[in-house]
Structure 1
Amino acid sequence: MMIAVVALARVRNLFAVIVLFGLYSFLTATVMVALDAVDVAMTEAAVGAGISTVLLLAALRLCHSEEEKPVHKPWLPLAVTIGTGLVLVYGTWDLPPFSDPEAPIHTHVAPRYLEDGPRETGVPNVVTAVLASYRGFDTLGETTVVFTAAIGVIALLGRRRHVRRGKQ
């Protein structure tokens, strides 16, 4: 994944960037499978490596295939990115170790979903109950983002200028 990120930062050909982005998304999906989050992996593979790649390729048809060289060095965005990354890493220091059976999610949240989920939601499948009921607004938000991106690409493709014959 780090090789893909470094390549993404160095490549100027936008087609190669889209392919590397799809590769990175696919690698993220394989990490999710290794973490036993198959539902998240399938979503990442479908949306990240699939739909997003197709939408980006469609948008690429509207622009040049080479990214323009920046006028100045991007030191401020780099500093903001590094600062944000450090804050995020700092925020993980208080988290319990991975797969700790005594973590709050395993002692409080999961048992509540397993015991009360079918009664509260009326859905016998716990995963469906969590995604559709407890996290319903989150799922709606994700769907809205993908729908909005698709509409944006369709709008961009619809704005293509048709050159009349004989006129430049």
Structure 2
Amino acid sequence: MIKIQQEDFNIQKEIDFLTKEHNDIGAISVFVGLVRDFNAHSKTKVQSLYLEHYPNMTEKSLQEICEKAKEKWTLQNCLVIHRIGKLKPSDNIVLVICGAYQRVPAMQACEFIIHSLKVKAPFWKKEFYENGNSAWVEQNPQDKELALQINY
């Protein structure tokens, strides 16, 4: 399941939803991404972050990533929630949950999905800094490297 939304998410509620009617899930792997209060490259203090996306195109991309994960690992269910709009430091930004019969496929699929999402999903992030400046965030080259390492 894919959700793109402005509102925050409740991690336990989403886990409960994912596992409902799936008694065959023996392991759940969860990744939660948060908004940082600084730019990782310039170390500039971030006041807020604004995320944009292309509706339908983003959902399709995330769905393809999840389908690929389901092909590579035996998953009973998976969920990706990505927030858009204006967020502030420490806000939840992304949630990936993978449920599988055993822990290894759940963990590997979760890692695959988040790395692939960072490289493939069409999201644009603009940071607003305490000094009044702002800048669009460029893709981190390390994300592409990590996605390639997990056989994207």
The structure with the greater share of residues assigned to helix is 1
Q: Rg: which structure is higher?
A: 1
TM normalised by structure 1 equals 0.27
